[in-house]
Amino acid sequence: MEIYVDLTEIKKPFPNSCVTIGNFDGVHLGHQILFSEVVSKAYQQQGTSVAITFTPHPLQVVRPDSGLKLISNCEQKRELIEMAGIDVLIIIPFTKPFAATPAEEFVDDVLIKTIGVKELVVGYDYAFGKGREGDISFLKDQGYKKGFPVSVVEPYYVDGVLASSTKVRELVKEGRMMDVKALLGRPYQIRGEVKIGKQRGGAQLGFPTANLDISSEDLCPKHGVYVTQVIYDGKCYGGVLNIGYNPTFGDGKLSAETHIFDFNQDIYGKPIKINLLRFLRGEHKFSGPEELARQIGEDVKQAKQVLEDAQKEILLSCEERYNR
């Protein structure tokens, strides 16, 4: 996938480009269907599938007091869009002057002149430009006048629940990770470099942990303990994660501490990815290290059972498909 982080990097329009535009936060199943449509139409025209997105999220610029938390950072969004099969990703820097761009100017200068749009595919609720004047009706009218068809992808529901970034954020904050997975098509993931923490996990509790900082800009799941998959150096390990303030020790700083099963490598300063599979329990203040260690032991036992059951389910599913 080719990636452009500024429109000035694009020296000529793309051949027979089929284009979609959006914020694509989380790249949920609704977004994935949109990308599939774009890729399919580009293939039929022997053209180029193009996705346009923005950084930072437009709402963080036009309404900085909104408190918007992102499901996926820019790096993760790039990875997921590439996995969807898109040929070209254009990440436009979103600024206040850019936000003031009239919708028709964007169509003429960006979509037609710079990218060479031959067909546009958008989600059912998409709008852009100053005052969100570039809505579906406007785009269809522009397409009719300027020679590019506009297709609209309808909303996608999973068991009656709309796949939307807003709904995913709501479910993450409630710790409903199985429901989140249903809308994303994959587990919710946090990632970062392992930091040196208080180093109590191994010495005092018998459960060494890999620690990640949670910043105020991150979408933080419900505080408590989760069953996880930890991805490091291309391998996947089971684990339990605690997100919170560690009230037993009164740390007062939000952190994510993961105990990784069957793992003893030094990974300080190394990047890891953590998939949150299931919420086990809320955060609780214990009487001291001994009581906390006993509870962690129970958490580990439960988590291993969840992971074992999930593996059995995968194997059974594979066997059923194989025997058909």
Tell me which residues are annotated as active site: 257
* Ranges of H-type helices in the chain: 29-44, 58-62, 74-83, 96-99, 103-106, 136-146, 165-173, 177-184, 200, 289-323
CA–CA distance, 247 with 249 (Å, rounded to integer)? 5
Amino acid letter for position 233: D
Q: How many residues does the chain have?
A: 324
> Among 118, 50, 39, which Cα is nearest to 85's?
39
Burial letters 16-27, b for 16+ CB under 10 A, else e: bbbbbbbbbbbb
- Provide the edge-to-edge strand list for the sheet that holds 255-260: 188-193, 271-282, 224-232, 235-244, 255-260, 210-213
Amino acid code (one letter) for 121: V
Angle 214-216-221 from CA coordinates, rounded to 5°: 55
Whole-angstrom Cα distance, residue 179 to residue 219?
Answer: 16
Residue in the block written with tokens 């990974």: 267
As a whole number of angstroms, the distance between CA 228 and CA 238 comes to: 6
Residues linked to residue 260 through DSSP beta bridges, in sequence order: 239
